[in-house]
Structure 1
Amino acid sequence: MRIPYAPSEPPSGSGPQVQEIYTRIAARRSPRPLIPLDLALLHNPAIADGYNALLGAIRTKSSLDGGLMELSICYIAVLTNAVYEWKAHSALAVKAGVSREKLERLLKREGQWDGYSELERAVLEYTEESTVKVAVSDEVFERTRRLLGSDQKIMELQVTVGAYNMVSRFLVGLDVTESNGGEMVVP
């Protein structure tokens, strides 16, 4: 980590607002302790709190299929070389039903989507365009929107892609967990 981690407990003398923020973040992570990402963000408790609320909603309040979400997040990790993000989300992808073979293919960065469903291909193309080019072409947008089946789901995909691009850039920029340059492997 390029800066020291913030303390895992509210610093002595912090006010009730900071203590409440630590409590909210700990509740979201429960039963696990705070993770290094939290401890990096907690240098500014207000930002950590906003991050926690946004990512908590994306993770638990989205109607987007969990496997599609994790596939997209894993591809963002590959495209941005976010090893820590890959390690966390490739395991979640497998739990959500994404095959190890599909994850292996992401790691090869071939851009060939044979073996993926039509919807998975659309989500991966969408993720790549939004991550690499920022602007998503009308063709990719409309195909993905049609296959997802609703304006809500295309919005949820876009906010997921945007949020996890933020996460990967934060993780890599500060080298959270000292994972930069590490190997990405399928769990």
Structure 2
Amino acid sequence: MPEAAMSPEQAMVCAEARSGPRGKIPAPTIAWLRSPELARRAQKLGELLRFDTSLEPHLTELAILVCGRHWTSHHEWTAHKALGLKAGLEPEVIADIAARRVPRLRCERQRVVHDVSLALLTSGRIGAKLYERGTAQLGEQGMVELVGVLGYYCLVALTLNAFELGIPDSIAPELEDPRFPAGAQTT
């Protein structure tokens, strides 16, 4: 949307996003701007969950990658693959997640983030033992923040997929399934 065509509310959302820690307008905001209040609140929530939780950046990026893989969200995957590498995730871990293999993770905190993320995304639940592992490693605040990260990045992935944002530039070949090519909308 050209800035000249934006309402004052839409322009304010863009200015807020640019002045925040990202320094730019996040991709899903392009769609969310059609509902300026949703855009404002969603981008602020994303800012909180990306930059201001008790989770270390490599744990947040690990959860986001599991989510991006779950939804085969190419743009989310491409952006957070780079951020995950920068945060210290090993390329082999990222490749395993892309291939839907259980990655070899270097510490129990990473393993619990992966396991909680995978359980929630595949079944919508975590059992008592996994919850106990999670709170032992991340604390109750960390568990709540992890669930928040996953919920938010599900919203991001669905927005990016629904409106095909970042496609075709962000196609991640490692996520491709020949039965469902990216950018091929179904009816």
- The normalised TM-score by structure 2 is 0.83
1:157 to 126, 138, 146: 146
Q: Which residue of the partner structure matches residue 136 of structure 2?
A: 146
What is the alpha-carbon distance in structure 2 between the residues aligned to residue 22 and residue 52 of structure 1? 10
Q: Which residue of the partner structure matches residue 3 of structure 1?
A: none
What is the alpha-carbon distance in structure 2 between the residues aligned to residue 79 and residue 25 of structure 1? 27
1:116 Cα offset (Å): 3.7
**Which sections of structure 2, spanning at least 5 residues, go unmatched?**
176-187
Q: Which amino acid aligns with 1:133?
A: S
What is the alpha-carbon distance in structure 2 between the residues aligned to residue 86 and residue 70 of structure 1? 10
2:172 to 176, 179, 183: 183
Structure possessing the higher relative contact order (Cα contacts under 8 Å, 6 or more residues apart)? 1
Do structure 1's residue 9 and structure 2's residue 29 form an aligned pair? no
What is the alpha-carbon distance in structure 2 between the residues aligned to residue 73 and residue 162 of structure 1? 10
> Which string of whole-angstrom CA distances, capped at 9 and with x for unpartnered residues, describes residues 118-148 of structure 1?
2211111100111121112221111111112
The alpha-carbon distance between structure 1 residues 10 and 26, as it changes in their structure 2 partners (threshold 3 A), is farther
Q: Is the 8 A contact 2:21 2:47 kept in 1?
A: no
Q: Which amino acid aligns with 1:171?
A: L
Task: State the aligned residue count.
Answer: 175
The alpha-carbon distance between structure 1 residues 66 and 116, as it changes in their structure 2 partners (threshold 3 A), is same
Q: Which moved more, 1:36-45 or 1:59-68?
A: 36-45
- The normalised TM-score by structure 1 is 0.83
> Which string of whole-angstrom CA distances, capped at 9 and with x for unpartnered residues, describes residues 9-28 of structure 1?
2636x34x444223212222
Task: Provide the identity percentage.
Answer: 22
The alpha-carbon distance between structure 1 residues 115 and 157, as it changes in their structure 2 partners (threshold 3 A), is closer
1:39 to 30, 55, 60: 30
1:177 Cα offset (Å): 1.7
Q: Which residue of the partner structure matches residue 107 of structure 1?
A: 98
Alignment of 1:30-69 (within 5 A): 31-32=23-24, 34-69=25-60
